[in-house]
């Protein structure tokens, strides 16, 4: 068995070396293809394409005039100059558009390209039904639990009290009782520079969410459940009708914490929740105002949460 294991190990190393060699041999071509792809994508934006097109037209006009006058040497020099000028215009407009349009839109969208939820625009542009990442996760979880999309979302309390396990000795979702199924996830608390264990079992820190943001990130049935099962409101905190306190751990949907945990930076938008700003002091009426609480991918602070 030891000889067989060594042979398999050596075989895998040979295969990996072969793959790396093949990738290295095609690397220049792949890199050039990526550069062309980026250029084509950016040129699909009219704010970039229009100045580049004007630079190309002006350059071609200059080269045509020089050729008509028989200035072949200057025409050749002008060709390379025009190419350099077009490149400078493209890079300059790319920086300008990024600063004035793309980066503000990226920040407004939670520092991510997409929220993970299905966009209504895609449904109007295509006859096919587009299913976003979060709705897909919700469907998979609900199907595994034997529930429909509009049924009660699977919660951590459902996992803790799942039947058929001798580990569970409780019939109620009690966070301190033995559990049938244990599930924990990690997220990164950007504002407080720490990791967060989901479903928020480490402290009773009050965390709130704006209904509009939840609607933008999660399926309607999940948001409706969270709105109908909020946590206990703290009378010391400023309360807005458009803001709900997150449900208690036993009532928190699994898909909600899964989405919090996989907010991959740049690609998937981080989720902006709210928490009391005790350091800021009280507002008139002795009420504590909320402050933003950004939660992102758990791998930022704990890529191997072995303690779970």
Q: For residues 150 and 221, is the Cβ–Cβ distance under 8 A?
A: yes
The answer to whether 273 touches 295, Cβ cutoff 8 Å, is yes
pLDDT value of residue 15: 42
pLDDT for res 298: 85
pLDDT of residue 124: 46
Residues of the chain with pLDDT under 70: 1-30, 119-130, 164-176, 201-205, 281-285, 305-308
Q: Is 256 exposed, middle or buried (0-12, 13-18, 19+ CB in 10 A)?
A: buried
Q: Half-sphere exposure (CA, 13 Å, Cβ side) for 163?
A: 1
Inter-helix orientation angle 46-68/72-97, to 10°: 170
pLDDT at 166: 58
* pLDDT score, position 222: 95
Cβ contact 245:207 at 8 Å: yes
Buried b / exposed e along 42-79 (16+ C-beta atoms within 10 A)? bbeeeebeebbeebeeebeebbeebeeeeeeebbeebe
pLDDT in tens, 211-224: 999 999 999 999 99
Helix (H, G, I), strand (E, B) or coil at 181: coil
How much is the pTM? 0.73
Supply the pLDDT for residue 79.
92
pLDDT in tens, 268-282: 999 999 988 877 766
């Amino acid at each position: 068995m030891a000889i067989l294991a060594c042979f398999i190990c050596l075989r895998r190393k040979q295969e990996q070396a072969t793959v790396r060699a093949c990738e290295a041999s095609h690397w220049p071509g792949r890199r050039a293809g990526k550069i062309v792809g980026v250029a084509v994508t950016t040129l699909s934006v009219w704010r970039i394409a229009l100045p580049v097109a004007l630079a190309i037209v002006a350059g071609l006009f200059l080269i045509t005039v020089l050729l008509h006058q028989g200035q072949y040497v200057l025409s050749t020099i002008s060709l390379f100059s025009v190419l350099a000028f077009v490149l400078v215009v493209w890079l300059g407009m790319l920086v300008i558009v990024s600063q004035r349009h793309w980066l503000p839109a990226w920040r407004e969208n939670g520092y991510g390209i997409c929220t993970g939820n299905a966009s209504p625009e895609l449904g109007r542009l295509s006859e096919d039904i587009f299913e976003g990442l979060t709705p897909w996760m919700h469907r998979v979880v609900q199907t595994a639990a034997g529930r429909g999309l509009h049924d009660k979302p699977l919660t951590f309390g459902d996992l803790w009290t799942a039947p058929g396990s001798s580990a569970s000795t409780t019939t109620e979702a009690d966070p301190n009782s033995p559990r049938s199924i244990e599930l924990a996830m990690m997220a990164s608390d950007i504002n407080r520079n720490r990791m967060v264990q989901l479903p928020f079992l480490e402290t009773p820190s009050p965390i709130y969410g704006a209904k509009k943001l939840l609607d933008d990130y999660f399926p309607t049935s999940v948001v409706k459940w969270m709105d109908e099962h909020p946590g206990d409101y703290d009378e010391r905190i400023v309360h807005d009708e458009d803001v709900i306190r997150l449900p208690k751990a036993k009532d928190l949907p699994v898909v909600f914490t899964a989405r919090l945990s996989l907010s991959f930076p740049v690609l998937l938008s981080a989720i902006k929740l709210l928490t009391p700003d005790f350091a800021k002091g009280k507002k008139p009426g002795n009420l504590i105002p909320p402050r933003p609480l950004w939660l992102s991918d758990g791998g930022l602070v704990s890529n191997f949460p072995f303690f779970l």
